[in-house]
Every structure is written in structure tokens, then in C-alpha cells.
Amino acid sequence: MIEFRNVCKAYRTTTRRKVLLDNFSLTLPAGRKVGVLGRNGAGKSTLLGMVAGIAKPDSGRILRHASVSWPLGFKGSFSGDLTGAQNVRFTARVYGVDTDALVAYVEDFAELGDFMDMPIRSYSSGMKARIAFGMSMGIAFDWYLVDEITAVGDAAFKKKSLSVFKNRLKDAGMLMVSHSSSTIRKYCDAGLVLENGRATYFDDVKEALAAHKANMKAG
């Protein structure tokens, strides 16, 4: 379960203070697949970042009574001077999983061959995405954070990636940000709509999508 307790978050633009969350409280039960909806700048990615621990609330607390992934495909934590395998080993130690097992999983999943023993700085963006996705799938998290799901590579690799992802979700919860209503409808069963500093939770994803559509029409 993930618990939000009186969470406030805002940032200052050149002209005003933009409130993303204002005294937001909510408990998300284990296993729910929650689509995070809102117009551009509403704070969707920031919300995921706070749950991941990448960003901090201005006030309030977010309690994670479960293991939570980094945002799926996030590549910002790689050390460019370390090899792919060394980065995977470091991640394994941070999350307390078997290092050899995770390296073997990522080697097989990412299909990078000898590049696993080369510095990350020599990788293309697509190669970094492959290894990041592989690490995400190699650890069985209780909650997955997804900011615009992407599957890189050829058709066969994309098919494999999405198949593994769906299998992981059978026993896990998820917070997903996507601008695609069809993607939210496909993967999520509940919704969280951000609008003007307020976050409204819907137990039915169809109701969340309808509320978001109404917000967008209202301008």
C-alpha cells in the first residue's frame, strides 16, 4: 500500500506560484493499477517522482508500505563510466537482490551482447532504455511506476517487453502516467485526476477518464 498524508507540492514560475497538490491524502491499496491523468503541467510526472523518492513534497509525507520501482525506463541514475554490468550490480546491491542473478537476467533480456561490458556512456539512448527496462523487470516490485510506457527495439523485442511487463503486473500495483486514453484503459482499473492543485481518486478508471475529458473540455 502507498499512503499520501497531507501532501503539498508547488513550484514558482516567472509570474506566479503553481500549486500541484494541496493537502492531498489518499491510501492506495495493494494491487491497484492507477492511471494518473491531468493536463500538461498538472504535476503527473512530479507525483511519480515523489512516490519514487526522486522529488520531495513541500510538506506532508508519502509512506511506502511496499517495494516501489523507479519510474520505468528512467536512465538518469546510470553512471556513465561504469559498464552496463557494473551498473546492474550496483542497482542489485541497492535493492538487496542477488547481483549475479540480476546481471544474468538483464543480459538475457536486453540482448546487448558485449556491450554489457562497455561503459554506459558508449550506449545509444535505445540501449540505455533496454538495460533500464530490463533492470525494472528483473526485480519483482510490489508497485511499478510508469511514465509514458515505451518499448524500444524491433517488433519482436517490443512484444517480449510488453509480455514480461504484463506478467509482472499480475502480482503488483502500478501508477501509470500516459497521454493515451486507450493505454490507460488497457492497463489500469482505477484513476487519479489532477486538476488545479486537486487530486481526485476514482475507483473506476472509466469514471476517471470521463472526469479528465470534462476538465479538458472546460478549458
Share of the chain above pLDDT 70, in %: 96
- Check residue 152 and give its pLDDT: 66
b/e map 67-95, b = 16+ CB within 10 Å: ebbbbbbbbeebeeeebbbbbbbebbeee
- Check residue 174 and give its pLDDT: 97
Worst-scoring range by mean pLDDT, 52-61, 85-94, 124-133, 197-206?
124-133
Q: Which residues contact 183 (CB under 8 A, 6 or more apart)?
A: 149, 176
Is residue 72 pLDDT above 90, yes or no? no
pLDDT tens digits, 176-217: 999 899 999 999 999 999 999 999 999 999 999 999 999 999
- Check residue 57 and give its pLDDT: 96
**Overall pTM > 0.75:** yes
Measured distance CA(133)–CA(147) in Å, rounded: 12
